[in-house]
Amino acid sequence: MRHLESFKVEGKNSMQYWTAIRNPLRVCLNFAVIYTCRFLPSLRLKNALYRLLGIKVGKDVSVGLMAMFDIFFPELIEIGDNTVIGYNTTILAHEYLVDRWRKGRVKIGRDVMIGANCTVLAGVTIGDGAVVSAASLVNRDIAPGAFVGGVPARELQGGDGP
Does the structure show a pLDDT above 70 at 161?
no
Predicted confidence band of residue 1 (pLDDT cuts 50, 70, 90): confident
Kindly state the DSSP code that residue 72 receives in the 8-state scheme: S
Domain spans, the chain: 5-155
pLDDT in tens, 14-51: 999 999 999 999 999 999 999 999 999 999 999 999 99
CATH of domain 5-155: 2.160.10.10
Each as own residue / partner, the long-range contacts of residues 135-140 (CB below 8 Å, 24 or more positions apart, any chain) are: 138/114, 139/2, 140/1, 140/2
Active site residues: 94
CB 61 within 8 A of CB 78: no
pLDDT in tens, 42-53: 999 999 999 999
Predicted confidence band of residue 7 (pLDDT cuts 50, 70, 90): very high
Distance CA 87, CA 13 (A): 32
pLDDT in tens, 105-155: 999 999 999 999 999 999 999 999 999 999 999 999 999 999 999 999 999
pLDDT in tens, 51-63: 999 999 999 999 9
CB 126 within 8 A of CB 111: no
